[in-house]
Structure 1
C-alpha cells in the first residue's frame, strides 16, 4: 500500500498507473509519496523531488514509467530499513515539459519542500530548471538526453556542478544511425536497394539536434542524404509524408519524432501504402507502451532505438520481471526506458548517501556520484567527464564515447518482432537478429 498526501488531504492507492496518475494531480497540485513507516523515533525522512508531467497530453507515458520505477526502488529500500535508518519519501510536482516557466516552477516547488535530491525523466526546457536548481544545488539526476543542457554544464561547471545527466545525449541518435545501417548491411540480413537515406524530422530543438548530428555522420559514411521532410507536432495525417517517401524511394528511412501515439498512426498508414524494401527506423518514441497498444500488428518489422533503456541481460530481465509483478496492469508491455532509469537513480542515490553518511551535504554527494560510476539495469552511468553525462556505447567517433560495453551506456537498437520489442544490436546484448519487414519482398 502506498500513501499519497496532497495539500493536507490523505488517500491510499495500491499503485500508480498512466491513467490514475492524471486523477491524482487534477488541477496540477503536487503530492508526496512514501512507503509504510519503518517505525517510531527515526530521524527525519529523506525527501526526493520527482517533477512529473501528469496533467498534459504529452510526457505522461515516460514520466509515469519514471515515477513507477522510482516508486519500486523506494519500496525496496524502505522495506530493507531505508537509508541510514531514514525512510525515503517522494515529492511529485506536476510539470509541463514544454513550458520554461512550468519547468522552473516545478524545481522551485522542490526547493521549497527542501528535497535532498531531484530525479527527473526529461524536460524540453531544461535550462530554466537548471538555473532555478542552481540556487539550491542538491544532486539533480535526470535522463534528459539533451546536449544543450550538458553544454551548459561544460561552459559553467561551477554553476551547474550538481547537474548529472544519467544518459548520453540525443546527438548520438544522429551520429550512430549510419553506423547501425552499415552493421545491418554487414549481417546480410538487409540488402540496401540503394544508398539513399530520407529523413522525416520534427521541429523541436531535441529533434533538430538529432537531425544536425545525423547529417554530420551521413556525410562521413557511404550512404547519402537524399531529402528531408519537415513535420510539426501534432501530426494528424501522415499521407503526404508517405507519398513523399514513395517518391524518393530511399533504401533507408528515418522518422525523427518523439510521440508514441503518432508513430503508431504512421505505422498503420505506412503498412497500407509502404515503400517496398526500405529499412524504416523510428527514433525513440516506440519505447513508450502506447506504441504497441495503439499500433498493434501494424508495428511489426519497424526498428527504433534508445540511448537509455533496460538491457535484456540477466539483470535487466530480473528487473522486468519484478516490475511486471509490481505493476501487473502494465502487463508485459512495460516502458523500457524511464522505468529502469527512475529505479537506477534512487539506488544510485542510496549508495551515495550511505558512502558520505550525509544526505544533506549536497556537494559531497554530487562529488561521490561523479567519481563512482554505477552499473544499473540500464547500463553504466559514468558521468565523470567534461559534459557530466553518461558515456555512450558503441563508440561512434564523435566524442564522449565508451570503448567497451561495460564502460558506458549502450544505445539499444530494437525491432518489433511477433508483437514484442527485441534488441537486435549491439551484438553483445542482442536478444535477436534483424528480421525481414512485412513490406520487404
Structure 2
C-alpha cells in the first residue's frame, strides 16, 4: 500500500473541508483573506471496489493542495478538500456522492473513476461546476457527444477504455517486430470479466485483432468478480495454448493471486497481459517475485520522463512505500489544471467560464497531454491506433503505457518514445 500514513487518519483530516493537524501543512497558520476554494472528491472509503485507486487519487490531490497553499493559494484563497464516500459499483451511491458535493457548494469536482458514471453526470448537471475525472469510459463521453449542452462541464482527462482493446494487437505486432517475442502460434485467448467496462475492452480487442489480421481470437473465456480460484481458468488457458493471453480484469489482489497460480502451472511460452489492475500498489505487495514477466497497460499513467520521475520522487517523499502509477499523478494533474483555469478566469464561482477555459486550453501534466477540445471531451490517445480521438505525436496526446514487471519493478516497454526497457523473456518461456 502507498505510504505509512493511516488511511482513516488521512481521510479524517481532509473530509468535510477540514485541514487538520495530522499532517504537516504549512498553510494552516496563514490568515486567508477570502473564503476557501472548495474541491469535491467522491472517494471510495468503505466499499469493496476502488479503494486503492481512490487513495492514490486522494494522495495526489493532497500533495497538489499542500504545494499550492504553501505557495500562497489560488487568487489569494486557500484550497480545501471536501471528501465524501462513494461505492463505485452503485448507481445510487455515485449519484449521492455528487449530491453531497453540490450541497457543500464545491467549486469543482475531481474523481478517479466510477463504474456507473451516467447517474453521477446527471446529478452534476443540476449544478454544472467543472467535473474533472479519469473515468476511462466511452459510454460517458458518448453521453457528452449526444448532449454537449447538458454535459458541457464534464471532462474526462484520459482516453477511453476502448483504446485498451484497439491498441492490444498493435502492441503484439510491435514486440514481434522488435524480435523480443517469437509467438508460438497466431492465437489470442481473451479472459473477460463481466462488468461493462471490461466487456467494452474485450469487444474492442476482438474487433481490432480481426481488422488488423495478424492474429486471431482463438477463445473467449468469461470470469466473474470475485475470482476465488484461477485453477479452472488456467486449465482453459492450457487447453487453448495461445501465444498471447489477455486477462481483461481490474482487481489488483485477484491479479496477484492469478500470477502465483499461473507461475505454479504456466502456459509455456505464452505472452501474458493483464489490463490495468497491476498498476495498483497492492499488486506488487501481494504478488512479489511471482509478478515478474507479466505485462499490463494503462491509458493513464505517470511518464518516466524527467517531469514524471521528478514527480515520482516528490510523491514518494510525501507518501513512502510502493507507489501507484496512475491516479497518484491524475489527482495531482487535475488540481494543477483547475488552478490554471481558476487563475485565468479570476472567479472560481464562474463555472461556465472555467469550463470554457479548460475546453480550449490543453494542459501537459505528469501523466501527459490533456486536450479537451473535441467532440467527446476526452483526452486524445497516443500512439495512434487508427480509431477516434487518437494522436500521431506523443505531445499531442496521452500515451498508453505498456509495462512489464522486471525484478519486481514496473518498467515501461512501449511505446518507444517513453520506454524505459524492452520486453524481457518471462520465467515460463523457453
Aligned to 2:250: 258
**Counterpart Cα distance in 1 of 2:111 and 2:379:** 15
Matched, 1:287 2:279: yes
In structure 1, C-alpha distance between the alignment counterparts of 2:125 and 2:300, rounded to whole Å? 25
Cα deviation per residue 1:331-356 (whole Å; 9 max; x = unaligned)? 2x200000000000000000001111
For each residue in 1:49-79, what CA deviation from the matched residue of structure 2 results, as whole angstroms up to 9, or x when unmatched?
A: 0100011122111000000000000000000
Choose which of 394, 398, 423 in structure 2 pairs with 1:405. 394
Tell me how far apart the structure 2 counterparts of residues 25 and 367 of structure 1 sit (CA, whole Å).
32
Matched, 1:305 2:305: no
- Whether the aligned pair in 1 keeps the contact of 2:11 and 2:83 (CA below 8 Å) is no
Question: In the alignment, what sits opposite 1:21?
Answer: 7
For residues 323 and 421 of structure 1, what CA distance do their matches in structure 2 show? 17
Q: Aligned ranges for residues 82-93 of structure 1 at < 5 Å?
A: 82-93=73-84
In the alignment, what sits opposite 1:383?
A: 372
Q: Distance in 1 between matches of 2:296 and 2:106?
A: 36
Cα deviations by residue, 1:162-211 (Å, 9 ceiling, x for unpaired): 00000000000000000000000001010000000000000000001101
Structure 1 residue 353 and structure 2 residue 332: aligned?
no
Give the aligned CA root-mean-square deviation in angstroms: 1.4
- The answer on 1:31 being equivalent to 2:16 is yes
The DSSP-based 3-state class of the residue aligned with 1:178 is helix
Q: Which runs of 5+ in 2 are unaligned?
A: 20-24
CA 1:24–1:426 in 2, change beyond 3 Å: closer, same or farther? closer
Cα distance per residue 1:244-292 (max 9 Å; x no partner): 0000000000000000000000000000000000000000000001110
C-alpha contact (below 8 Å) 1:38/1:87 kept by paired residues:
no
Q: Does 1:47 align with 2:38?
A: yes
- C-alpha distance in 2 between matches for 1:38 and 1:387: 43
1:50 partner SS: strand
**CA distance in structure 1 between the partners assigned to 2:184 and 2:131 by the alignment:** 47
Aligned residue for 1:220, secondary structure, equals: helix
Normalising to structure 2: TM-score of the pair?
Answer: 0.96
Picking from 343, 348, 352, the partner of 1:363 is 352
Residues 2-401 of structure 1 correspond to what in structure 2 (within 5 A)?
20-22=6-8, 31-34=16-19, 35=25, 36-37=27-28, 39-40=30-31, 42-221=33-212, 222-328=214-320, 331=321, 333-401=322-390
The equivalent of 1:5 in structure 2 is: none
Distance 1:25 1:75, change over 3 A: closer
Q: Distance in 2 between matches of 1:94 and 1:231?
A: 28
Task: Give the unaligned 5+ runs of structure 1.
Answer: 1-15
Counterpart-to-counterpart distance in 2, 1:414 and 1:40:
46
Equivalent in the alignment of 1:429? 418
